[in-house]
Structure 1
């Protein structure tokens, strides 16, 4: 494993655990979608055996942009402390990436390692945020924006300008509709058979194609839902849990 990302998954093979919690597309920001704090408090008081964060957990969190780290400092620290008590696996999304130097006690799965296979008996289960399937302009954008040197350069310029660039992005993201659904056409089906669990598409449905099942999770940002893993002999069941309280 590289020294700059001690928990980035390269050689580790993990197992999907019974009663694990999966949550995706929270898009947390200290000023809005604070319901995540309620979920986090529940996880701290009654830790599950495993927590899987399926990307876009923060609305803005980039490893080389100090302003986004400072903005989310409290939640970052709480998640990292939780990682000392239970296994936390964090799949990077298109709103939160280059996280290897931010968290010390969390397994980080970059987009280059997605979808990642988790063992569950004889069943092949693959997890990903889902944006790895995007092509064209979006694919080019991801490859450019994830460049560490470019991000550091942009962060330096933004700091000199009083964070005007990142604050503009922040305002634009705050105004975005988080409950829209990406169409079925956005999903490129995988050759390897198994069960695939994605966020990103902002849906709540399963699609059976041949011998493979694609579970597209609904976004926490829209309906405050998380999912509890129930392992079956020949498959998996995700029990949906919603709550309305907020801190």
Structure 2
């Protein structure tokens, strides 16, 4: 995938909206803010990358998707109708995106990091879960959650039951992470930073763009190479923007 920027246009990146959490009212307020952000950037957007955990939970049954998010989905549909590419990545909370957004809205959904060129810069982009050293328990769980047989078994549950169970699991997982101070900077033990350094030893990228950490970061990987973490929209409202020359992290405050 290559993107050529036209004059005055930019590419935008955001992750970890966690729509649906922690409750309906709070999520609706966040959804409204995300839509205001999309309204704010659409005139200058060459493309928009939504880099995982857009939903706090998402599971597609054959004929059923989770209730809600209609304003957000309508907004990204409008962006597509205006010719602005919107690209989704799955995260650890919305692993089970399949073909709904691709078929209904022509939005590509990536389940793994991708490489691409924007202008003359090389990017590696993904959510970030399961990458780098450590976190072996999650890596095992991810293998189970992404197993087609296990997903098929889950689909036998009635959607009301399956979605309720998954939402309870999602909420407890988020609370557990907060209790472990997972959103604090770990210095040289930042495992996504280490992952970027390992990749850079084999292949050069100008920018490594990830989410998942809930922590806005701008860290040097090597000569002319940077790792950016996009942060989250539960409390920080941070996003990335690339204008063809430089990448910056910004905060949406409207």
| TM-score > 0.5, shorter chain as reference | yes
The Cα offsets for residues 88-127 of structure 1, whole Å up to 9 and x where unpaired, read as 011111111232322132121112xx1x122123321111
Does residue 75 (structure 1) correspond to residue 86 (structure 2)? The answer is no
Aligned to 1:192: 203
TM normalised by structure 1 equals: 0.77
Gaps of 5+ in 2: none
Asked if 1:228 is matched to 2:244, the reply is: no
**Residues 121 and 193 of structure 1: is their aligned pair in 2 closer, same or farther, counting only changes over 3 Å?**
same
Q: CA deviation at 1:87?
A: 0.5
Moved more, 212-221 or 74-83: 74-83
CA RMSD of aligned residues (A): 2.9
Alpha-carbon distance in 2 for matches of 1:109, 1:163 = 22
Is the 8 Å Cα contact of residues 179 and 219 (structure 1) preserved in structure 2?
Answer: no
CA contact (8 A) 1:207 1:213 kept: yes
Equivalent residues in 2 for 1:70-219, closer than 5 Å: 70-85=67-82, 86-103=84-101, 104-111=105-112, 114=113, 116-133=114-131, 136-159=136-159, 161=161, 164-172=164-172, 175=175, 177=178, 180-181=183-184, 183=186, 184-187=189-192, 188=195, 189=197, 190=199, 191-194=202-205, 195-211=207-223, 212-219=225-232
- TM-score, normalization: structure 2? 0.75
> Which stretches of structure 1, 4 residues or longer, exceed 6 Å deviation after superposition?
none
Residues paired across the two proteins, number: 226
8 Å CA contact retained: 1:27, 1:57 = yes
Structure 1 residue runs of 5 or longer lacking an equivalent are 1-12
Q: Per-residue displacement from partner, 1:117-157 (whole Å, max 9, x unpaired)?
A: 22123321111111140552212211211234422322323
